[in-house]
Amino acid sequence: MKLRSVKGMNDILPVEARRFQRLENIFRQTVEAYGFEELRTPLVEELGLFQKSTGETSEVVQKQMFLLARERESLALRPEGTPSAARVYIGESQHAKEPITKWYYLGPMFRAEQPQRGRYRQFHQAGCELYGDAGPIADAEMISMLVLLAERLGLKGVQMSINTLGGAEARALYRQELVRFFEPKRSSLSEHACARLGDNPLRILDSKDPRDQEAAEGAPVLLDCLTPEDREHWRGLLHSLDALGVPYVVDPRLVRGLDYYTRTCFELTATSGEIGSQNAILGGGRYDDLLAGLGGQKTPAIGFAMGLERVLLALPDEIPERPPLVFLAPMGDAATQRCLLLAEALRRAGHRTELDGRGGSLKSMLRRANGMAARVCLVLGDTELSSGRIQCKDLARHEQLDLGLDEVLGRLSELLASDAGPTGRSAATEGRAE
């Protein structure tokens, strides 16, 4: 049997994991400044939760669920985070605890899609959900936060597209209008679009099939079906975005693939790096009817999720820097014992430290220290040990210092806090093959 990972599910090796960590840190810092707090939920939920929320007519539920069948239980791997967070919000009677709740989450999601670049069967999302605020200011703040997040992540050439899907009333009216528009063109639509005509005609608008795209030309626009309240919300959003100076594009074709959206929806796309055709970095919107639909109190809500793999594809392939490394090269048993203690003291003082306790030659230890891009290598042999000294090779400056064993901790902290020296030993010189 050949050992390999499951199709569309990737291992993330340490160097790549550092790129993920960088995104996660920037994400946490940014959303916490806006008052979001972390929520962690299980990877597995009852299938019914996704059927009722993500939606029976969504492609995700129809075709992409990973099911876990157990006796008398129908479970599924989560394809997205919004349903789980809504379940917790309702289960915890969160509405009774505070008027507005802001949660964020990070973690793997699972969709049985046909894998391609930027589209995987296990991928990672970082998302936020805000409950209890129906006004357009909440929408504007979230969109503004996302533009800031994209900027901090270093994404270039991004576009924030926004649209309104109206409330239930406007959408019912719009659905009728669309059916009236597409029905005479049924024969020129794809089979997929014909099926959508029955359950969710809005999805025909974002079909990638050229037949559907041609048929959709001149289709009625939802903006014309909005109720006065929907219209006021939409105007309020645009006004606040303009006041904040947030760049956006109104895209009347943006409908999103999940069933629960109402009013505002948005998507951030990128064109940089190796992103390719799966260019939606993040997407989200308002879902004011979902919580009541799941049996909770009627609670307005808005949220988004960002695909971490797609962000990484859109960014340059840089490895984030790590703190400088101290490498300990002892020669002989007594020196190894002394270095064992010194290494622990260095780590407790916060220095990334590697002890080579294999008992090899100095040459092989120095080769390893260089391979790991160590900033300094401390060499301790019998002679140094008996005189209470240690050799400190500054591998960045190509200098050697003779230090007292009792002063090494303090001197190293000073040296490591100074710049990396003329050769600039940092992530840039650090090999991926380490």
Our CB check for ligand HAM shows the closer of 41 and 370 to be 41
Binding mask 286-305 for ligand HAM (x = CB under 6 A): -x---------------xxx
Q: Which of 80, 133, 141, 288 binds ligand HAM (CB under 6 A)?
A: 80
Our CB check for ligand HAM shows the closer of 220 and 276 to be 276
Nearest to 207 by CA among 229, 218, 191, 228: 191
- CA dist 180 and 186 (Å) reads 11
Minimum CB distance to ligand HAM, residue 265 (Å)? 8
Cβ atoms of 163 and 266 closer than 8 Å: yes
- 3-state class of 102 per DSSP? strand
Per CB under 6 A, does 307 bind ligand HAM? yes
- 3-state class of 126 per DSSP? strand
- CA dist 306 and 20 (Å) reads 12
Binding mask 162-181 for ligand HAM (x = CB under 6 A): --------------------
Per CB under 6 A, does 129 bind ligand HAM? yes
Our CB check for ligand HAM shows the closer of 282 and 378 to be 282
Our CB check for ligand HAM shows the closer of 59 and 177 to be 59
Of residues 248-287, which lie at the interface with ligand HAM (CB under 6 A)? 257-258, 280-285, 287
> Which pairing describes strands 122-131 and 73-77: parallel, antiparallel, or unpaired?
unpaired
Of residues 108-127, which lie at the interface with ligand HAM (CB under 6 A)? 111, 113, 118-120, 123, 125, 127
Our CB check for ligand HAM shows the closer of 261 and 327 to be 261
Minimum CB distance to ligand HAM, residue 137 (Å)? 17
Of residues 180-209, which lie at the interface with ligand HAM (CB under 6 A)? none
Our CB check for ligand HAM shows the closer of 60 and 408 to be 60
Q: How many helices (H) and strands (E) does the chain have?
A: 16, 16
Residues in the chain: 434
- CA dist 247 and 80 (Å) reads 27
- 3-state class of 411 per DSSP? helix
Our CB check for ligand HAM shows the closer of 257 and 381 to be 257
For ligand HAM, how many residues bind (rule: CB under 6 A)? 27
Binding mask 37-76 for ligand HAM (x = CB under 6 A): ----------------------------------------
Our CB check for ligand HAM shows the closer of 20 and 287 to be 287
One-character DSSP codes across 145-176: HHHHHHHHHT--SEEEEEEE---HHHHHHHHH
Half-sphere exposure of 183 (CA within 13 A, CB side): 7
- CA dist 334 and 275 (Å) reads 54
The H or E element containing residue 394 is strand 389-394
- CA dist 166 and 250 (Å) reads 14
Minimum CB distance to ligand HAM, residue 309 (Å)? 5
Per CB under 6 A, does 82 bind ligand HAM? yes
Instruction: Kindly state the tokens that stand for 148.
Output: 């800031």
Ramachandran category for residue 161: left, alpha or beta (phi over 0 → left; psi -120 to 50 → alpha): beta
Our CB check for ligand HAM shows the closer of 87 and 111 to be 111
Q: What residues make contact with ligand HAM under the rule CB under 6 A?
A: 80-82, 111, 113, 118-120, 123, 125, 127, 129, 257-258, 280-285, 287, 303-305, 307, 309-310
